[in-house]
Structure 1
């Protein structure tokens, strides 16, 4: 049969059936797209500032012995952790200990002499009233006692001095930390003032950064700040500003020192490595709409648009809006114009939408 002889209603039915099959292949016949929306919220604008620097420690010392001597034993090595007061190096104290024994003996001899002088004075004081001993003898014995007491004091001072010299042959850690370098071995002769070990404290690691002059004035001691070690970029530590130096570094860069310290000690912070300080600066105080980056659709000309879900009778319709964007921080984008607070903006399913499409919201967010 010629197509021209096919009844008109049959051809119309065929066209309608094909259209429905096409819709079934590419989507529901109702033409609704399922979307996820987020409610636009107005919040105070917060500007984020990131400054990088090198982690340092408040306490770093090159340990040196307090007397000259031959190294007898090095008790630590690089990488060892020590506590305050731990012995880290010993010098040969054989000669010093020999001298100590001699002065201790001299102190004991002086003590005995003083005791004898004291006994003779006590004896004289009993005999003088009985007139069996002249008074001049008592005075002589008192003078001898004073000389013996002075000699005892000198001997005891020498003993304490020598005891201190013996103790100085043992080098102790002045604070808790980690040995970062060893510069001497057993058998070496070292002199006072020569660093034999390097000790670094890990308790108070700090980050010094240089803030531009236009930012420095906005920083306060209570400005929220976080530390991010570059060795562990996923680690974010709460921190605080401990110093702001209002004097430029003199290099002509017009930057000023800001010192940041983690609120709690962390094993993620290593002196000598780099880190980033993230400051949260309050803006002008005005509120702005902030939305997730996923709502944005980029245009070939570099502009942006979003789909806003509007109610048209009993239907929800996607309306395309051109928007102007502002700051981008923490996964949120500031929408300067194009979206108002409390409007529902499509965050998923917006790639295939067209202006005016009917949509069904499956999971509203926010």
Structure 2
């Protein structure tokens, strides 16, 4: 019975060993398809669509609370810097200013009288007709009246400024894009009454794929083609590169200033930017491989398997643009490598393989 148990155990061991050997053979004979990388024919220019926005755009609100008495513009009105746009009823503020002016006049009269008494006391004091205490009292009254006059003048200036704030001037030249109030409405500070947009200077905002971040800088050449003028090409300058990627689009913002000359572009319309890539990047050798060769890592990186002497080696790669031709590889492999395009999903680094097909 004991010998029978040992015999049974030996059979199980031989069966497991046979399975392991068979598995090793299968792994070693994993069929794969390889391809030779090609030189990338991707253009050295990057074409992106974006939206034209005004360099200056303001939601205008009154500087004081009040009743709208006059509106001098409407939607579509062109205005220049300093033009009067809107006026509030100034009746109450005019009364406050009149009271402040009267208070200033009263304080001025009191100060003049105090000065006269001080001047009179000088001669009387020399003849010893008044006491030193009386002379000091008159000087003190003069100082108090001068302080009161300064306070009255400050109150008058404040009332004058308050009255001027009933008028809303244009902070810059542009076009009124929206009129949000009418005569007779009561408006408060912070309430938008007009929207002003400057049309003389517009900029183009485009989203650039994160893979292109290192290929663009402020010195990159830019041409802008507005969709409203498809036959026109304007010179652009990269004004800002926001080094924060949008987690949804995996892209970052590039803002382009446009030299339009005498032509006015409409904010809110679309345009295409053609951006020249960095000279340093253009000089680097770029190669292209099929997308099937790429393996995505959990951290967002990529790698490929390269065959050398019948063994698969994993190489991390830095990818560029993706197109119908394939994926541009910026670094990680060379033109002499043989890249696995089929069967790479089950490969392990250092595993022996069998090439069943080689695509050119």
Into which bin does the TM-score normalised by the smaller protein fall? 0.5 to 0.7
- What TM-score do the two structures reach when normalised by structure 1? 0.63
**Distance in 1 separating the partners of 2:144 and 2:104:** 14
**Distance in 2 separating the partners of 1:218 and 1:284:** 9
Aligned partner (choices 163, 166, 169) of residue 166 of structure 2: 169
**Distance in 2 separating the partners of 1:149 and 1:166:** 26
- What TM-score do the two structures reach when normalised by structure 2? 0.64
Aligned to 2:183: 186
Aligned partner (choices 226, 230, 233) of residue 229 of structure 1: 226
Aligned partner (choices 254, 263, 281) of residue 258 of structure 1: 254
Q: Is the 8 A contact 2:199 2:264 kept in 1?
A: no
Q: Tell me, which stretches of 5 or more residues in structure 1 are unaligned?
A: 1-44, 288-325, 327-366
Aligned to 1:299: none
Displacement after TM superposition at 1:145 (Å): 0.8
**Distance in 1 separating the partners of 2:245 and 2:87:** 45
**Distance in 2 separating the partners of 1:85 and 1:268:** 22
Aligned to 2:263: 267
Q: Is the 8 A contact 1:63 1:195 kept in 2?
A: yes
Q: Is the 8 A contact 2:44 2:282 kept in 1?
A: no
Aligned to 2:358: none
Q: Is the 8 A contact 1:243 1:259 kept in 2?
A: yes
Alignment of 1:292-303 (within 5 A): none
Alignment of 1:43-82 (within 5 A): 47-82=44-79
Aligned to 1:150: 147
Displacement after TM superposition at 1:264 (Å): 4.8
**Distance in 2 separating the partners of 1:265 and 1:148:** 61
Post-superposition CA distance 1:127-150 (Å, at most 9, x none): 101112222111111111111111
Aligned to 2:96: 99
Displacement after TM superposition at 1:285 (Å): 3.9
Moved over 4 A (4+): none
Q: Tell me the secondary structure at the aligned position of residue 247 of structure 1.
A: coil
Displacement after TM superposition at 1:203 (Å): 3.3
Compare CA radii of gyration and give the structure with the larger one. 1
Q: Is the 8 A contact 1:70 1:91 kept in 2?
A: yes
Q: Is the 8 A contact 1:71 1:91 kept in 2?
A: yes
Q: Is the 8 A contact 2:71 2:87 kept in 1?
A: yes
Closer/same/farther in 2, CA of residues 200 and 265 from structure 1, 3 Å limit: farther
Closer/same/farther in 2, CA of residues 70 and 265 from structure 1, 3 Å limit: farther
Alignment RMSD, CA only?
A: 2.0
Q: Which has the higher strand share?
A: 1
Aligned partner (choices 206, 209, 228) of residue 206 of structure 2: 209
